Amino acid sequence: PLAMAYAGHQFGHFVPQLGDGRAIWLGELRAPDGSRFDVQLKGSGRTAFSRGGDGRAALGPVLREYLVSEAMARLGVPTTRALAAVATGEEGARER
């Protein structure tokens, strides 16, 4: 598993070190037609870049992100796609 560091703009300011605070990359799969897919877990727990958070994701925002990405894909907009959303029964910090 791998969590990535990156730079970018956050809240209108450039931040030289951001990172995957709740996402880990598991690897790449190749489909029979040769296309490639990254496999990633999001909201699965803390990473080195969680910055004090628990790295979890509440189910509501996960489902909203899933629905929006599916709508974008149906409209022909390149986007990420989800294979599954899983509820573990654990409470995240935002849900307490």
Q: Is residue 76 part of a domain?
A: yes
Global pTM exceeds 0.75: no
Domain containing 72: what range?
58-88
Same domain? 19 vs 63: no
Report the distance separating Cα 82 and Cα 96, nearest Å: 26
Residue 34 has pLDDT above 90, yes or no: yes
Same domain? 25 vs 11: yes
Contact predicate 36/21, CB 8 Å: no
Residue 12: both structure tokens together: 């209108």
What pLDDT, in 10s, does the model give residues 83-94?
888 888 877 666
Residue 53: both structure tokens together: 């958070």
Predicted local distance difference test score (pLDDT) of residue 58: 86
Q: Is residue 64 part of a domain?
A: yes
Report the distance separating Cα 94 and Cα 61, nearest Å: 11
